[in-house]
Structure 1
Amino acid sequence: MIQIDFKLRQYSAITLNEVDMWEPLSITCTVNGTRYGSSKDVSLLGSPGGDHKVEYHVFNQTSNTFTFVSCSHKYKQKQVEIILTDEFNVTQGSTRSISPKGSCWITVQLKPKSTCSMYLNLKMEFLPISRKKFFIVRHIECNYMSSEYFKMFERLAPQELDEVEEEDDEVFDNLHLIEYFPPMESLLENTLELKPYDIPVKIQKIKISEFEPKQMKELREKLNIQRLTYKNYNQYFQTLIYLEEVQMAKDIRQYTIKRTTMVKDRKDYKAGVPRYRLPVPGLAERKPSVLRGDKLHVAPLPPKRYKYAGLVYDTSQNDAYLVFNPTYGCINCLL
Structure 2
Amino acid sequence: MASSLEIRFIVCVYGCIATSPVRSFPSHGLDAFDDLKSLVTVDSGTGGVALFKRRRSGGEVLVYKRDRSLGGREVPVGKREENWPTTRKTTPLSSNDYNDEKKAKITRLRNRRKEELPQWWPQLLNSGSILNEMINREEYQRMANRLIRAMMDNKMSGKDISENDIIQLRHICKTFGVRASIETANARDSLYRAAINLVLSYCEIIANKSTSVQINGEDARQFIAGLADNIGLENTRAARMVSAAVAARTRSRILQAWALEVQDKHSEALFELSKVCVIHRVFPPEESSPEMEMVARGLENHLSSEQRESILESLFTICGEDTHRSLVEALGLVGIKDSQDKSGATVKMDS
Kindly indicate which of the two structures has a greater share of residues assigned to helix.
Answer: 2
Kindly indicate which of the two structures has a greater share of residues assigned to strand.
Answer: 1
TM-score, scaled to structure 2 = 0.20
Q: Which has the higher contact order (CA 8 A, sep 6+)?
A: 1
